[in-house]
Amino acid sequence: MERIGLEEAVERLIGVSAPIEETRQLALEDGLGRVLAQEYRAAFPQPPFNRSPLDGYALRAKDTAGASKDRPAVLKVIDKIMAGRVSEKTVLPGTAVRLMTGAPVPEGADCVVGQEDTDYGETCVRVYRELRVHENMVDAGEDYQAGTVLMEKGERIDAVAAGILAGAGIGEVKVYRRLRVALFTTGDEVAAPGESCEAGKIYDSNRYLLWGRLKELGIEPVCWEHIGDEAEMAAERIAALISEVDMVLTTGGVSVGEKDIMHDVVSILNGDRLFWRVALKPGSPVLAFRFQGKPVICLSGNPFGAFVTLEMLVRPVLAHMTREPRLAPVRRQARVKGGFHKRSNVRRFIRGSFMDGCVVLPEEGHASGVLFSMKGCNCLVDIPAGNEGLADGDEVVVWLLSCIV
Ligand code: AMP
Ligand code: MG
């Protein structure tokens, strides 16, 4: 099978991956980070009433014409209201209502004077300056009018959205259900951290690396298991879980060795192979097939290879299925600091640290099995096929390892 390009591989996967249709009705506080399955409109203007932005007196501007410290306007105080209460009184000429910040401006009043411009009078108040109509009054609907679309279907509930929805009195939201992903690592040589590791074995980085990365992207795998290099067993676990998940991810066993079991898994499950091998480095032996209408994506076992293909190949598919465009990787233009001295026969991704338009490259530790040098890195540098090496000052494209939770 010919190697296909990364974009082609993403397209094939998207072609067999359906966006989530099922919805859930959740309390607003449980909806943070979720994607809305319906539009939300304002049932009333915000604020719902003309509001006083300070502690003072509501009055008629006309009554303060010519007022000054020496010649104050004297008004009769006919009521006193706190925020949360409504005055039954109408402010007629020569009267005022004492009110506190957040209280509705009563009928008849057309402005508010701050108490520091008065004598704080309780029954009668002296106003020491002239006021303009509308002064110190927040209009009903200053923020938005009734009927305004506050949130569109498909938008994500972040902190600001939660504040807007709550302000509109919306305590429950209809959202798409979460994506369900099963994650398997394979390999007889792989041991669980915390357990003993016999000679020749290594600990399972990938299970934590990919689980952690999925969580950083707002996706909690419904299961994350390790299975050995036994095709029958791997097929059995995938078959047992497929009806409960939307996607299966695996690592290891996709190359051309005797224990590269994932090829047999495709046959055992009678899956439709979508591709094997993508023209990129590292992680090129990635294999994908469709099983019971769902994508199964088998990444290379090398931790950095698995990571690169999760970012560049799997993330766009996650974005499509979750209807969350922010889940797709974000690109930036950057100037190289340092260098990378290898020729790239195929498109290659290396780790780097992006800041202020520059990307700093680690001096060493670029191999696909090396994870330690990834510490502190925040992007993947996209090196085109045929590149002879990167030198200080070269312009490159980088993909940010942003988190969305
Ligand atoms: P494979 O893709 O199975 O040929 O594995 C490629 C390399 O990655 C081998 O050196 C494996 O030992 C290593 N590897 C496979 N799975 C893991 C894992 N879960 N964690 C760390 N290294 C792994
Ligand atoms: Mg293996």
Distance in angstroms (rounded) separating the CA atoms of residues 123 and 136: 22
pLDDT over threshold 80, residue 1: no
Q: Indicate the average pLDDT of the chain.
A: 97
Which two three-digit tokens encode residue 84? Answer: 């949360």
Question: pLDDT tens digits, residue range 41-54?
Answer: 999 999 999 999 99
Q: How far is the CA of 242 from the centre of ligand 2 (A)?
A: 23
Q: 256 pLDDT exceeds 80?
A: yes
pLDDT of amino acid 165: 98
221 pocket-lining for ligand 1 (C-beta < 6 Å): no
Spatial neighbors of 160 by CB under 8 A, at least 6 apart, are none
Antiparallel, parallel or unpaired: β 73-81 and 40-41: unpaired
Per-residue pLDDT at 385 exceeds 70: yes
Residues of the chain with pLDDT > 70, as a percent, come to 100
Query: Using one digit for the tens of pLDDT, what is the confidence trace for 100-122?
Result: 999 999 999 999 999 999 999 99
Among residues of the chain, what percentage have pLDDT more than 90? 98
pLDDT tens digits, residue range 265-312?
A: 999 999 999 999 999 999 999 999 999 999 999 999 999 999 999 999
Residues 6+ apart with CB under 8 A from 67: 73, 127, 128, 129, 130
Q: Among the atoms of ligand 1, which is closest to the Cα of residue 186?
A: 16
Mutate-to-test residue for ligand 1 from 188, 226, 229, 251, highest number of ligand atoms within 8 A of CB: 251
Ligand 1 atom having least distance to the Cα of 257 = 4
Calculate how far, in angstroms, residue 199's C-alpha sits from the geometric centre of ligand 1.
15
**pLDDT score at 403:** 83
Instruction: Output the CA 186–ligand 1 centroid distance in Å.
Output: 8
Ligand 2 mean position to 229 CA, how many Å? 7
- In sequence order, the 6+-apart residues with CB closer than 8 A to the CB of 196 are none
CB 204 less than 6 A from any atom of ligand 1: yes
Residue with tokens 């504040």: 163
Distances (CA, A) of 209 to 129, 182, 217: 67, 14, 12
Q: What is residue 9's predicted lDDT score, i.e. its pLDDT?
A: 98
Say if ligand 1 is within 6 A of residue 255 CB: yes
CA 14, chain centre distance (Å): 20
b/e for 226-264, b at 16 or more Cβ within 10 A?
Answer: bbebbbeebbebbeebbeebbbbbbbbbbbeeeebbbbe
In degrees rounded to 5, what are phi and psi of residue 118? -140, 180
Quote the pLDDT of residue 2: 75
| Probe target for ligand 1 pocket from 183, 184, 190, with the most ligand atoms within 8 Å of CB | 190
What is the per-residue pLDDT for 402? 87
Measured from the CB, is residue 316 less than 6 Å from ligand 1? no
Q: Ligand 1: which residue has its CA nearest to atom 6?
A: 301
Closest ligand, as measured to the CA of 306: 1
Between the CA of 292 and the centroid of ligand 1 the distance, in Å, is 27
254 C-alpha to ligand 1 centroid (Å):
10
Beta-carbon neighbours within 5 Å of ion ligand 2? 187, 252-253, 301
Could you read off the pLDDT of 310-369 as tens digits, one per residue? 999 999 999 999 999 989 999 999 999 999 999 999 999 999 999 999 999 999 999 999
Cβ count near 331 (within 10 Å): 13
**Among the bound ligands, the one closest to the CA of 197:** 1
pLDDT digits over 158-206, tens only?
999 999 999 999 999 999 999 999 999 999 999 999 999 999 999 999 9
Tokens 């003309």 sit at which residue?
Answer: 50
Q: How far is the CA of 100 from the centre of ligand 2 (A)?
A: 71
pTM over 0.85: yes
Q: What is the pLDDT of residue 95?
A: 98
Q: For ligand 1, what atom is nearest to the CA of residue 207?
A: 19
Question: At a CB cut-off of 8 Å and minimum separation 6, what does 283 contact?
Answer: 299, 300, 302, 304, 305, 306, 307, 308, 309, 313, 368
- Choice between 96 and 403, residue whose per-residue pLDDT is larger: 96
For the chain, how many residues are written? 405
